[in-house]
Structure 1
């Protein structure tokens, strides 16, 4: 019976569409309907002409308002790209109003249908621009056009009965195409709304300087999860889906997580712990293993670290919890660096320390309010060993380059003050009677030559 009913409704819908097409073809043969088609073409050409005149001026006006917020500029760009249909709809409704006031309503019927369809198309285009996902935006856009077109043609009820008649039944559970279409529509609408609210709230949270960066990330993530989950379950409830069965599904998912997704869950939990204990936050300069860089983003599964050479490393959150991490800017941005050098025993160590400190002070990025210090660390085999310590406050600028600049400043200062940097020297002695001594004696020229 259901199959017969579905086939009957499908035939009825097809008959309705054929009837509307036949009526349209017959109406086109009438004199006034041909006039209306010519008016449509003339209005469209007029809209294109107006757009050709207005578009450059509108573009120049937009360029003069570059200081406007980004969302307003994007809206203006969308309007600039849709100037032709905007002018066409405006001219179309103006013509329909004039013709209905000046002549019989039947003589503007096709123009009214075209005006309704064009207006619906324009409204759908602007409304779906709020949807960021291209696939979802295209799906909602075409679905809305089809639904509005069926409503204007008076075939909406037949389409609803057809979609509702095509269903899959399992006991008391019944899933029809109409329910599926409603679910997809409401889920898209609610997800778009949740995304808009999330972005707006996230922008306000990030602009609040009283909230730490890690708590800003945590609040944004929690808000996203809550809003998207609420949108999903609300959409299911709107279309009448019973959510009690999801309890069994959630239990099965929990078992699956326990056995197969341990690493994923571990990284998710580690991410929450990192956000709560504030051990690292966006902007911190850290060293983990052989990777040195600053944190650009805290994700649900990983931490993004950008190094000085432009590489971006995605480190799992679990590694930051279980491994050793050096946070160069945990409490403040000040970082102390050490470099080692040695001078000859003939050089006055008091002078060496003084020259080294002055040389370090003259290097850019070395802090003078935290002055460098230099100490003797020991007496080596061929040199007196020193350690030079200095502070910087911008570790994101790199550590190797500042060390190299300080070494270069020490070299120039030592050269200017006559301080030498010794290096190990070895004396090689050839033993008398050894093979090398005999070979050298044989190769020596005779004394009489």
Structure 2
């Protein structure tokens, strides 16, 4: 291959690069407008389109380089006279498909590692320097007796383990979606099954990846045992929370969606984690309660066996009002509130005769405690107020009457002492 031919191929590559840059500047904004006009498309389609938009210049360069290679093939019959152009077109095509295919990796950091790793590998492969690079990396080693750790082995381990982790994550995500939609399995068993599947898949990916590149797992097992003993003493609370989480999932004492009270915290369980339970309150606060507290503490589960929740409110009426009429009006007022159950009708009972009122308790049932307890109590109190006002039922309050004996008021100076 003569020098003028080499310069001609390099000039053709440079022209293709400039034309690709101009075409990307020309059609890039139109591509952006077209993507913005898409509505109702899944996120994964938009992510792929954006990735394609960001590689338009590389795609144009690969197409133009292949056209230039075809032009050189038409003029020259020898493959060597179009070698550089064909090599540039091949490498550009490989880079383009690597960057597009890497979009399956959702983690940005891992995606960058995959892109750069495969880009370097593809470039060395097509340039013909892969064997030399392999020998160079294999020569960079750390030796401890019979143990020899090379940079090539580390890179292989990272690559193989990364691919296995990606496969494990993909399988675990797909299985988790199917398990979460299975209504035949209880919510707590769904969470336990997903957690167990994730641990099994990731552990298998880790050990298979190390074994695939030739690592001896015997020493690793001894080291893991020693580390496990140390962690067992130093991380007792963490281990306790992990074990408590497994117990919670197995005995089904609480599950996602349950309404619980723990101390001053009242809310519904959003999710069950390996270390803590996420509880969301009515005011939007999310409490992360350690699993151990749910095992050792007193927990009120408002929806453990069913969704029925009974609420009590207390009120009093004047002694002049008929108790039979008051009970009837109170029950009808509670039944008029939307969330109060009609097939478990409210009841009203006299609880005592107070100093200034006849005291009552009104009990009613609901099935949606996640919608709030204070608001439903307030609605029932408001219905009672309206009903009592309509029927002339009075709600008394304590009154005190002061009588002055002897017919005269004591003077301010009465009882004052003398110096």
Q: TM-score, normalised by structure 1?
A: 0.85
Matched, 1:298 2:272: yes
1:286 corresponds in structure 2 to 260
Closer, same or farther: CA 355–85 of 1 in aligned 2, 3 Å: same
List aligned pairs for 1:233-272, cutoff 5 A. Answer: 233-272=207-246
Q: CA separation in 1, counterparts of 2:390 and 2:54?
A: 68
Judge which range, 196-205 or 157-166, deviates more.
157-166
Instruction: Name the SS of the counterpart of 1:420 in structure 2.
Output: coil
Q: CA separation in 2, counterparts of 1:48 and 1:180?
A: 41
1:332 corresponds in structure 2 to 306
Aligned with residue 70 of structure 2, among 77, 85, 97: 97
List aligned pairs for 1:39-438, cutoff 5 A. Answer: 39-46=16-23, 48-53=25-30, 56-57=33-34, 60=37, 62-63=38-39, 66=40, 69-104=42-77, 105-428=79-402, 437-438=410-411
Q: Is the 8 A contact 2:278 2:286 kept in 1?
A: yes
Q: What is the Cα deviation at residue 175 of structure 1? A: 0.8
Q: What is the Cα deviation at residue 70 of structure 1? A: 4.4
Closer, same or farther: CA 432–253 of 1 in aligned 2, 3 Å: farther
Q: Which runs of 5+ in 1 are unaligned?
A: 1-22, 443-449
Q: What is the Cα deviation at residue 44 of structure 1? A: 4.2
Closer, same or farther: CA 211–102 of 1 in aligned 2, 3 Å: farther
Q: CA separation in 2, counterparts of 1:139 and 1:241?
A: 22
Q: Which runs of 5+ in 2 are unaligned?
A: none
Q: Is the 8 A contact 1:130 1:192 kept in 2?
A: no
Q: What is the Cα deviation at residue 431 of structure 1? A: 7.5
Q: Is the 8 A contact 2:9 2:85 kept in 1?
A: no
Q: CA separation in 1, counterparts of 2:220 and 2:403?
A: 88
Q: Deviations along 1:191-243, whole A, 9 cap, x unmatched?
A: 11111111111111112121111111111111110110011001101111000
Judge which range, 345-354 or 158-167, deviates more.
158-167
Judge which range, 180-189 or 219-228, deviates more.
180-189
Q: What is the Cα deviation at residue 321 of structure 1? A: 0.9
Q: CA separation in 1, counterparts of 2:53 and 2:6?
A: 37
Closer, same or farther: CA 28–351 of 1 in aligned 2, 3 Å: farther
Q: Is the 8 A contact 2:6 2:84 kept in 1?
A: no
